[in-house]
Amino acid sequence: MSYPYPRYNDEADAEAHVHAFLTTWQANHVSQRLVVLDANASKIVEFGLSLDGQSTSWYSQHDLTEFQDFNQLEDIFV
């Protein structure tokens, strides 16, 4: 299922975007009691849906399995 996410266009504050993404992700998945590993995988995959511009290219160049969790992706992204 695809959810609407705030969009990041490479000009906005990256940390603020991650916060907005996580807030929206939580609201979208509040009724789904995902286990931690599934939640991390979901966040990593769905984060790509919130990107536009060069950040989309950056995201697509990564093998998503290289991220141990969403925090690692966030650290690299910010």
CA distances 11 to 8, 30, 51, 54, 68, Å, are 8, 29, 11, 10, 27
Q: Is 9 part of any domain?
A: no
Q: Within a domain: residue 21?
A: yes
In a domain? residue 43: yes
Q: What is the average pLDDT score of the chain?
A: 88
Domain that holds residue 69: 14-77
SS3 43: helix
**pTM, rounded to two decimals:** 0.84
- Segment 50-62 mean pLDDT: 94
Distance in angstroms (rounded) separating the CA atoms of residues 34 and 11: 32
- The pLDDT tens digits for 13-37 are 999 999 999 999 988 887 666 555 5
- Do the domain assignments include residue 2? no
